[in-house]
Amino acid sequence: MENQVKPANGKLGILIPGLGAVATTVIAGVASINKGLSKPIGSVSQLSRIRLGKRTDNRNPIIKDFVPLANLQDIVFGGWDVYSDNVYEAASKAEVLEQHQLDQVRETLESIQPMKAVFDTNFIKNLDGTHIKTGLTRRQLADAVREDIRAFKEKNGLDRIVMVWCGSTEKYVETNEAFSTLAKLEEAFDNDDTRIPPSMIYCYAALMEGVPYVNGAPNLTCDVPAIVELAQKNEVAIAGKDFKTGQTLMKTIVAPGLQARALGVEGWFSTNILGNRDGLVLDDPDNFKTKEVSKLSVLEDILDADKNPELYGDLYHKVRINYYPPHKDNKESWDNIDIFGWLGYKMQIKINFLCRDSILAAPIVLDLALFIDLAQRANMHGVQEWLSFYLKAPQTAPGLPAEHDIFKQLMKLQNTLRHIMGEDLITHLGLDYYQELVDSIQ
């Protein structure tokens, strides 16, 4: 497969619907890193090493030096928002990064002006932005986004583009007949069907332009048969959904450990307070429902009560998110975990995570953009399950249970990179080292 990976020549465009806290933090971060002012902490592609060959071979390159990824200097950002603030203004309002740090890259940030958004208040009620494409049918909106993509490519002399949804979480919707096949979705576009959410319009437009799409929110968007069919037909990579940061990241680190040691879990109560615009949107029960479904599935899947009824059969799992403006982007989460061990004796774990949501999300956006571009150049089309390492509710093939355990997800990611580059996969069996020892004694 190695020979089939096209090189990362030229410039890579990263187009982002939703230039809010997460998007502006990744854009400002890359600008700061490119000026030599910061380091890409949290970015696995930029800082983590990958072992190749045997443990004794001592081959442990940094991932970006192993697989051909776009250079950070070759990235051009753009995007859409329902507010007309440029990225410097939006980042200042988001109050994630300190003002003096934003000022160091002010010119770059000010040059990124959002394009007018595709928006529908039926899917998000708590936003009042007016920087919106109006008077168009859904088919015309998709065509307008396609035109935006082409114009962005032309204007910036780009070689390739990827799209990463960093827009607000849309209200909860179930999949429906219109999303069941590509033919039905096309018909829905022609009929200006109001069931099509804005996120799906961006995604459809991207895939029609051959642009890979990553869904950073829990909206269905590309996790419906019609869009999967389109991705396969047009040979484009897709991945989703919902960036795995904060509390869920902790859950997928702690829960596999408890499960691995056959410790029981009786209850897991998770609560959060956050005060950014994401929190405001999630204050609406319809939008929270989308997030709740994504957050709940993680634990149920890792602990798998059906297979382990003695340990997890009575698990009570609750997730709460509360909008609390004074905390801004600094989300605080509490987890109370009631566990039991040998002979059923009870114990408790308390986790109080004072995190910064967008600081955790920004490197994920960068890695996902770089890796989905790699997948596309490696001719890997359709759902990219190996990127589930970064996602709360990983999209998989129909009927295939998602893998939530972060350590298994990491092995999957690393082995996929080895596979792409024609290196041996690593199973961690390790018996060969001991056979060598026996052979050397005999």
Ligand X SMILES: NC(=O)c1ccc[n+]([C@@H]2O[C@H](COP(=O)([O-])OP(=O)(O)OC[C@H]3O[C@@H](n4cnc5c(N)ncnc54)[C@H](O)[C@@H]3O)[C@@H](O)[C@H]2O)c1
For the record, the structure tokens of 350 come out as 């308390």
CA distance 337 to 352: 11
Q: Which is nearer to ligand X, 295 or 412 (CB)?
A: 295
Q: Report the nearest approach of ligand X to the CB of residue 281 (Å).
A: 6
Please identify, using beta-carbon distances, which residue of 118 and 372 lies nearer to ligand X: 118
Q: Cβ closer to ligand X: 246 or 264?
A: 246
User: How is residue 398 written in tokens?
Assistant: 């129909």
Q: Which is nearer to ligand X, 277 or 404 (CB)?
A: 277
φ/ψ (deg, to 5) at 372: -70, -30
Q: How far is the CB of 420 from ligand X (least distance, A)?
A: 26
**Closest distance of CB 195 from ligand X, Å:** 15
The three-state secondary structure class of 53 is: coil
CA dist 82 to 22, 90, 130, 348, Å?
15, 11, 6, 44
Shorter beta-carbon distance to ligand X: residue 87 or 375: 87
Q: Shortest Cβ distance from residue 246 to ligand X (Å)?
A: 6
Sign (positive or negative) of CA dihedral 333, 338, 340, 345:
positive
Closer residue to ligand X, CB minimum distance, 8 or 366: 366
Contacts with 349 (C-beta within 8 Å, 6 or more apart), sequence order: 254, 335, 336, 337, 339
- What does the alpha-carbon distance between residue 165 and residue 198 come to, in Å, rounded to a whole number? 11
Q: Provide the minimum distance between the beta carbon of 118 and ligand X in the complex, in angstroms, as a whole number.
A: 6
Minimum gap (Å) between residue 321 Cβ and ligand X: 10
Which residue of the chain is nearest ligand X when measured via CB? 20
CA distance 381 to 228: 10
Q: Is there a contact between 391 and 239 (Cβ–Cβ < 8 Å)?
A: yes
Closest approach of Cβ 25 to ligand X, in Å? 8
- Whose Cβ is closer to ligand X: residue 23's or residue 227's? 23
Residue 102, CA distances (Å) to 90, 218, 290 in order: 11, 29, 32
**Pairwise CA distance, residues 244 & 297, whole Å:** 13
Chain positions contacting ligand X, by CB under 6 A: 17-23, 80-83, 94, 117-119, 124, 127, 129, 166-169, 198, 216-217, 242-243, 245-246, 276-278, 281, 357-358, 360-361
